Structure 1
Amino acid sequence: MVPKSLPLMPEAEAQKLIHELQVHQVELEMQNEELSRARAELEAARRHYFDLYHLAPVGYCILSREGLVLEANYTAVNMLDLALSTLIKKPITRFIFEEDQDIYYLHLKQLYQMNRSATCELRMVKKDGTPFWVQLTSAPPDAVPGVGSEPACRVVVSDITERRRIQEENAKLQAQLHPTKKAPRKATGKL
């Protein structure tokens, strides 16, 4: 609300006030430009992070202490052939091949009890039930910015299905090339 009558001010004081307002205006414009520049840099960094995180050649998940998926990149989602919303807040064990659950729990035990990175190989299951081999590399629980105050594990999921297939083929070839000697017959006591 503007007063109806402004008190008269000496011209020198008015000039000083106008000058101070102009200086403040310039400072505000400079701050605005700096904020705009910072916003542009932040947006560029966000795009860069998006590319590194979501388009990485490996799956990346953040798991709660209870094993719930708190966050996952597009690669992890594509490995499982799921929608991101289907994976988030679900237990990771839901996507681990039933016969390999013990391997996963041993992995967790090592991770939590020794508080150091752990790696294991196990099978996961796609949406259609197809199993595939992965290597899980997990970092010890730590506070992860943006996903809550509770410590969480960062897990890298690498599809190693092709490597395992080649290893199995290699083992078969080795068995064919170097067949094991037949076990000697048990002595029956008869000649």
Structure 2
Amino acid sequence: MSREQAVQNVLREDAELRMRARERQREQGRAPQAGPQLMQHVDNPQRLLHELQVYQVELELQNEQLEAARAWIEAALAIYTELYDFAPVPYLTLNRTGTIAEINLAGARLLGSERARVIDKRLGLFVAESDRSRVAACLKSLYATQCDAQCEVTLVARDGTRRTVEMRTTLANDGESCRAVLVDVSERSARERQMRRLADAFTLAPEAMFISDHNGVITDINHAFTALTGFAHDQVAGQHRRMLSCESRAPGLDEDIMRSLAINGSWSGEIWHRHRDGDVYRTTAHISTMPDSSGAQTCVTRFARHD
């Protein structure tokens, strides 16, 4: 809005207010009289009295507007406070040093303390010592770049309960504080740790193992597989498991395996494989089906050389 438009708006509002004031005078039985501004009639007591009455009504109307605005602001503040305080997601306001200036009830519960005991405390006091540098780095990045920053840290409550959270921060309008939301990702982190443990168990297992999809295409192998077959990951990934077969393979074996997997979810027996260098060897194998992260069926094959 330009300055001229702002001035026109003020003049229009002032004219509307004076019109409402004169209408209220008429309603109160005081007939308004046409005349110039107040200071031009200091020598005319009757006209001066009329202008004073108009100004009095204007002040009354302005006071009513202010009261209405105050009531609206108080109602809006109450709604905002309720939304903030009782939101199910933990919210807090931090200053540049990481001190908690504001926090809602969900945030206080996550920290395992009453809200009054949390205000003016450093957030780092509730963070695992090994993760405090992450909080500092996150805030440093936020204020330096003025771009949203986030980090994953472990919170330690007063009773020792540990929760993994993702802290997402955004700069406040004053540039001296920030808004933060704490998202509890404990279950997700636990699943990720479990997946890493399973991946390590697969990779480091003493048995040769490979994973194939429902079409028989190899998706992953472990170290023991390479040691036994001579094939590296990039040489077999995306290839059908038939690449390991040889002429000594029993006729109809693949059909028997697929039938057993469909009925029982597993198959065990002997399979002849071909080494990368061409040698043929006999293995004892166990194949089982299991769903992947998307729910699709995959096959895990474990086998060992049978001399």
Range into which the TM-score falls when normalised by the shorter chain? 0.7 to 0.9
Secondary structure of the 2:202 match is: coil
1:179 to 202, 215, 228: 202
Secondary structure of the 2:131 match is: helix
CA contact (8 A) 1:82 1:127 kept: yes
CA distance in 2, matches of 1:161, 1:47: 33
CA distance in 2, matches of 1:162, 1:103: 20
CA contact (8 A) 2:96 2:139 kept: no
Q: Give a deviation string over 1:74-133, Cα, whole Å, max 9, x none.
A: 221121122222111111110101232233233234334433211111111122121111
Give the equivalent residue in structure 2 for 1:133. 164
Give the equivalent residue in structure 1 for 2:268. none
2:68 to 22, 29, 37: 37
Give the equivalent residue in structure 1 for 2:120. 89
Q: Give a deviation string over 1:12-33, Cα, whole Å, max 9, x none.
A: 9443233222212211111111
Distance of aligned partners of 1:29 and 1:108 in 2 relative to their CA distance in 1, 3 Å threshold: closer
Matched letter for residue 70 of structure 1: A
Secondary structure of the 2:166 match is: strand
1:158 to 154, 163, 183: 183
Give the equivalent residue in structure 2 for 1:62. 93
RMSD value, Cα:
2.8
Identical residues among aligned pairs (%): 36
Q: More strand per residue: 1 or 2? A: 2
CA distance in 1, matches of 2:81, 2:171: 23
2:134 to 103, 109, 130: 103
CA distance in 2, matches of 1:141, 1:20: 48
Q: Report the more deviating stretch, 95-104 or 129-138.
A: 95-104
Q: Report the more deviating stretch, 100-109 or 36-45.
A: 100-109
Give aligned pairs, total.
Answer: 165
Distance of aligned partners of 1:61 and 1:14 in 2 relative to their CA distance in 1, 3 Å threshold: same
Distance of aligned partners of 1:160 and 1:25 in 2 relative to their CA distance in 1, 3 Å threshold: same
CA distance in 1, matches of 2:147, 2:159: 34
2:108 to 74, 77, 85: 77
2:54 to 11, 16, 23: 23
Q: Report the more deviating stretch, 30-39 or 14-23.
A: 14-23
Give the equivalent residue in structure 2 for 1:46. 77
Alpha-carbon offset, residue 163 of structure 1:
3.0
CA distance in 2, matches of 1:141, 1:32: 33
CA distance in 2, matches of 1:113, 1:14: 66
CA contact (8 A) 1:112 1:141 kept: no
Alpha-carbon offset, residue 142 of structure 1:
5.4
In our comparison, the structure showing a higher alpha carbon Rg is 2
Give the unaligned 5+ runs of structure 2: 1-42, 207-222, 228-307
CA contact (8 A) 2:100 2:121 kept: yes
Distance of aligned partners of 1:28 and 1:110 in 2 relative to their CA distance in 1, 3 Å threshold: closer
Q: Report the more deviating stretch, 107-116 or 74-83.
A: 107-116
Name the structure, 1 or 2, with higher relative contact order (CA <8 Å, separation 6+). 1
CA distance in 1, matches of 2:50, 2:137: 72
Give the equivalent residue in structure 2 for 1:8. none
Normalization by structure 1: what TM-score? 0.73
Alpha-carbon offset, residue 166 of structure 1:
4.3
